[in-house]
Amino acid sequence: MRLMGRAAVDEITERDVRGFLLVLREGDPEHPPLSAGSAARALVAVRGLHRFALREGLAPDDPAHGVRPPTPPRRLPKAISVRDVERLLAAASGWSAADGRTARGLRDRALLELLYGSGARISEAVGLDVDDLDLAEGVARVAGKGGKDRVVPVGDYAVRAVDAYLVRARPELAGAGRGGPALFLNARGGRLSRQGAWMVLRAAAERAQLSDVSPHTLRHSFATHLLDGGADVRVVQELLGHASVTTTQVYTLVTVQLLREVYATSHPRARSARPAPGTEPRRS
C-alpha cells in the first residue's frame, strides 16, 4: 500500500491520505480490507507522523489533519431472553441440591438477582455497602460513573435473595476477615472484586449452558426487558444512570429489531410473494 510517486513526507497531500484510508478499507490484491476500527487505528498513526513532521519543520502543513476516521458500526447491546435470565439465576451456585445453599452460593444468587433486578453495573454492585440498601423500601443507592450517585429500585426477587444472603451467609463470610461495610464479600471476608463477580456470572452461565454472557449482559437484559414491557426510555435512562438519553436509545433499536423479526415471521402479508426484480412477466 505505497503512495506511488512520493519521495518525501512533505510531498504527501490530503488526497493521498484519503486514498490511503480508502485502500485500507477496500483492500487490494495483496492485502485484505480492514475493519473500520483497524483502519481508524492506522489513521491515528498516520496523523501522529504528520504532526511530528509539521512540528519538526519537515513539512509545511499537516495533510492528515482534516481526514476523519471511518465510523465503526453501532453495536447493539447483547440481551438474553427472560427465560434465559431465569435459567442463569437458577444456576447460581448454592441454589442447587448439590451445593446445598452454601454461603457463597447464597451470595452468588443475591449478586445476580441484584444485577438483573436493578440494572446496576457489576462495578456498582460490588461497590455497595450494606448501608446502601434499604430492603424494606426495596431501593439501593449506587455510585455511578463520574461520582454520580443514584437511587434504583430493587425487585422483590432480589430483595428476598439479598435478605437470605445477609442473614444466612454474610456473617459466615465476614468471619474469615476483619469485617467491613462491603455488601458482597469474598471467601477471605474482603470485598468481592469486579473480577470475582465476573467469575460468579461466568460459572452460572456455564451451568445454565448459556454462551456469550458478559459482565453487562444482565444490565442490557434489564433495560431491554423494561422497554419491551412498555417502560418509557427516559425512565430507563434514569435507572441506568446514563447522562444522555441518546445512550439509552440504543436499546430501543434492539426492541424494534425484535418487533421487526416477529412481524416478518408472523404476519401473513409481511413478505411479498412477488417475483424478484427483472423476472416479472412482460405486459403486452
121 noted as active-site residue: yes
**Active-site choice (107, 219, 220, 225):** 219
**Residue 143, beta-bridge partner list:** 149
Distance CA 227, CA 147 (A): 27
Candidates 6, 65, 145, 148; catalytic one = 145
Q: Which of 121, 170, 191, 225 is catalytic?
A: 121
Of the candidates 152, 120, 117, the one whose C-alpha atom is nearest the C-alpha of residue 134 is: 152
Read off the C-alpha cell for 90. Answer: 437458577
236, burial (CB in 10 Å: exposed 0-12, middle 13-18, buried 19+): buried
Decide if 219 is catalytic.
yes
Set of cell numbers at residue 17: 491520505
Specify the DSSP class assigned to residue 140: E
Is residue 78 annotated as a catalytic residue, yes or no?
no
Tell me which DSSP letter residue 280 carries. S
* Closest CA relative to residue 84, chosen from 204, 261, 198, 164: 204
Known active-site residue 145: yes
Closest C-alpha to 131, from 142, 121, 120? 142
Catalytic residue numbers read 121, 145, 216, 219, 242, 251
